[in-house]
């Protein structure tokens, strides 16, 4: 996830892209003479697809966290000596001939040209041009940004925000509360166990593309319970595709031949994770409702090669909204507004997948009336250890005040735990959020499926409340 994290993230309508700091783990790898370091790492991945990674000891953690620059320097030296070369994600690695002057470095392991210039947004309206390597160095340093390189013109041309009137409080308790009992945390655990078994879900890696195909198969299988629901990948050049599931309103479903997913007159409700604020706060003709999560993971030490289970960030949000989607589809309730569930690719690269989708939505004139993001929904240990009550963090910056106020009433009505305001949307207050993300230690064993169930309740309830509401 992009830090300041949406950890039990309940971000609504929009959110600035955030980048997280990382916990560094140190391990020793022996590189045989004449073998590239990249090839050695790939061999480790093949030979040990699900290693029992041991957490670094205290001295290792302290050294690593205090000396990230030194670690990167050491790795760069090792990489140069071993001749790491750029490659295309998913393509087989081949040993390269030794050259007299090898100027490649650690950024080559990202699977991209490390000298390519990117445009990042540090806060609304504040942009900077950096190289790909500089961008990832900023991410490692905990600097907040969004990579808007491919959609810079969209940000410049965005018009004024459209205002929607949300209900003062829940209107359909009698219908929705019985459905909450159908949510099953064992489904979330089963799906998360599989999702975290992929070596990494880094968006430029072959296993990242494979994990996306697996997730698409699960969404398609769930959607079969209602033939009116449509599911499609949103393709990206980097290989890992985003996924969109569209649940049509009753009026469209009753008209033969109408493709609800392409109807620009409907107001959509979007459920997902880490959508760029500029699109949902200021996009004209925005009128949909949807839950969303991001499916990619990253190990900030060496993104392309090192293990990155991404259980909390954001495997937890991915399976949370998948379970809410299952119950909503099976309920087949009459809706006034279409509801979409989004699983984004490349959030860790700077919200690349969600930007691509909402740029296209803006171009097509699609309306988005509300959005709920669920990014990191499972970690509560630090909250409980501090003697604080388990809660859902509700983001307070870069969001729509009216929608945020409504979400608070939904939590109070349908969840068994309270909400707490935080600058970032997370499982808890930001100070108690998960510090294992972006490392090999972001594992299922540190998560609470009971807490994730609370987020599933919020997701299902909000999707149905707004799906049946009059937003125009």
HSE of 101 in the Cβ direction (CA atoms, 13 Å)?
0
406 within 8 A of 381, measured Cβ to Cβ = no
Model confidence at 342: pLDDT above 50 = yes
C-alpha separations of 117 from 38, 130, 156 in Å? 24, 5, 19
Model confidence at 47: pLDDT above 80 = no
What is the arithmetic mean of pLDDT over 287-296?
76
What is the arithmetic mean of pLDDT over 66-79?
40
Of 282, 385, 370, 465, residue with least CA distance to 10? 370
Q: What percent of the chain has pLDDT over 70?
A: 65
281-290, 333-342, 378-387: lowest mean pLDDT where? 281-290
- The more confident residue out of 49 and 167 is 167
- pLDDT bin (cut points 50, 70, 90) of residue 153 is confident
What is the arithmetic mean of pLDDT over 99-118?
56
pLDDT per residue over 387-437, tens digit each?
999 999 998 888 889 999 999 999 999 999 999 998 654 555 667 777 899
- The more confident residue out of 357 and 282 is 357
Predicted confidence at residue 143, as pLDDT, reads 82
314 upstream amide cis, omega within 30 of 0: yes
Model confidence at 46: pLDDT above 70 = no
- The more confident residue out of 282 and 126 is 126
What is the arithmetic mean of pLDDT over 239-263?
73
DSSP string computed for 135-170: HHHHHHTT---EE-GGGHHHHHH--PPPP-PPPSS-
Residue with tokens 């699983």: 343
Give Cα 196 to chain centroid, integer Å.
14
Predicted confidence at residue 264, as pLDDT, reads 62
- pLDDT bin (cut points 50, 70, 90) of residue 210 is very high
Model confidence at 326: pLDDT above 60 = yes
C-alpha separations of 309 from 198, 200, 201, 298, 440 in Å? 7, 6, 8, 8, 6
What is the arithmetic mean of pLDDT over 211-232?
97
Model confidence at 103: pLDDT above 80 = no
C-alpha separations of 299 from 200, 204, 233, 310, 430 in Å? 8, 13, 25, 9, 21
74-78, 352-356, 364-368: lowest mean pLDDT where? 74-78
What is the arithmetic mean of pLDDT over 26-37?
28
Predicted confidence at residue 356, as pLDDT, reads 93
What is the arithmetic mean of pLDDT over 62-67?
37
Predicted confidence at residue 380, as pLDDT, reads 94
Beta-sheet strands, E only, within 347-464: 367-373, 392-395, 419-422
Domains observed in the chain: 23-105 (no CATH), 173-467 (3.40.630.10)
93-102, 174-183, 410-419: lowest mean pLDDT where? 93-102
DSSP structure class, residue 313: I
Of 246, 243, 300, residue with least CA distance to 2? 300
Model confidence at 276: pLDDT above 80 = no
- pLDDT bin (cut points 50, 70, 90) of residue 111 is low
Six-digit token string for 8: 């039990």
Model confidence at 288: pLDDT above 60 = no
* C-alpha–C-alpha distance, residues 37 and 447, integer Å: 33
Its pTM stands at: 0.76
DSSP structure class, residue 10: B
What mean pLDDT is reported for the chain?
Answer: 75
140-154, 172-186, 217-231, 274-288: lowest mean pLDDT where? 274-288
Of 446, 435, 436, 394, residue with least CA distance to 10? 394
Six-digit token string for 38: 């990249």
Predicted confidence at residue 1, as pLDDT, reads 53
Q: What percent of the chain has pLDDT over 90?
A: 49
Most confident of 37-41, 131-135, 437-441: 437-441
- The more confident residue out of 93 and 452 is 452
- pLDDT bin (cut points 50, 70, 90) of residue 155 is low
Predicted confidence at residue 291, as pLDDT, reads 78
What is the arithmetic mean of pLDDT over 24-31?
26
Model confidence at 122: pLDDT above 70 = yes
Predicted confidence at residue 467, as pLDDT, reads 94
Predicted confidence at residue 292, as pLDDT, reads 87
């Amino acid at each position: 996830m992009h830090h300041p994290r949406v950890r039990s993230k309940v971000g609504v309508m929009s959110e600035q892209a955030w980048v997280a700091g990382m916990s560094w783990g140190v391990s020793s790898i022996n590189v045989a003479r004449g073998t590239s370091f990249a090839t050695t790492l790939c061999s480790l991945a093949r030979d040990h697809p699900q290693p029992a990674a041991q957490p670094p000891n205290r001295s290792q953690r302290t050294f690593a966290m205090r000396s990230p620059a030194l670690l990167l320097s050491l790795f760069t030296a090792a990489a140069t000596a071993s001749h790491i070369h750029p490659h295309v994600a998913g393509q087989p690695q081949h040993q390269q001939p030794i050259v007299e002057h090898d100027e490649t470095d650690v950024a080559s392991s990202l699977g991209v040209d490390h000298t390519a210039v990117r445009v990042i947004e540090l806060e609304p309206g504040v942009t900077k041009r950096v190289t790909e390597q500089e961008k990832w160095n900023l991410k490692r340093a905990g600097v907040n940004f969004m990579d808007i390189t491919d959609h810079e013109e969209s940000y410049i041309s965005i018009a004024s925000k459209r205002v929607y009137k949300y209900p003062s409080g829940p209107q359909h308790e009698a219908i929705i509360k019985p459905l909450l009992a159908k949510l099953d945390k064992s489904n979330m655990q089963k799906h998360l166990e599989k999702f975290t078994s992929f070596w990494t879900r880094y968006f430029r890696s072959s296993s990242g593309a494979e994990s996306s195909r697996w997730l698409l198969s699960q969404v398609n299988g769930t959607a079969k319970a209602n033939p009116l629901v449509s599911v499609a990948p949103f393709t990206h050049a980097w290989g890992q595709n985003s996924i969109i599931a569209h649940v049509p309103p009753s009026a469209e479903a009753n008209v033969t031949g109408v493709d609800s997913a392409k109807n620009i007159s409907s107001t959509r409700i979007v459920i997902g994770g880490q959508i760029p604020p500029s699109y949902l706060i200021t996009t004209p003709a925005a009128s949909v409702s949807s839950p969303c999560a991001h499916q990619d993971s990253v190990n900030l030490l060496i993104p392309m090669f090192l293990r990155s289970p991404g259980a909390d960030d954001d495997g937890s949000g991915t399976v949370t909204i998948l379970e809410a989607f299952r119950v909503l589809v099976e309920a087949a309730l009459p809706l006034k507004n279409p509801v979409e569930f989004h699983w984004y690719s490349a959030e860790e690269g700077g919200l690349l997948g969600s930007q691509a989708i909402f740029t296209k939505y803006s171009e097509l004139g699609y309306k988005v009336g509300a959005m709920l993001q669920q990014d990191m929904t499972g970690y509560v240990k630090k909250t409980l250890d501090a003697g604080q009550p388990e809660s859902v963090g509700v983001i307070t910056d870069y969001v729509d005040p009216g929608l945020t106020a409504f979400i608070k009433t939904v939590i109070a009505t349908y969840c068994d735990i309270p909400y707490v305001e935080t600058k970032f949307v997370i499982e808890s207050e930001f100070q108690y959020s998960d510090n294992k993300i972006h490392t090999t230690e972001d594992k299922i064993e540190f998560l609470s499926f009971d807490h994730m169930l609370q987020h599933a309740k919020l997701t299902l309830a909000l999707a149905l409340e707004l799906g049946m509401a009059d937003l125009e």
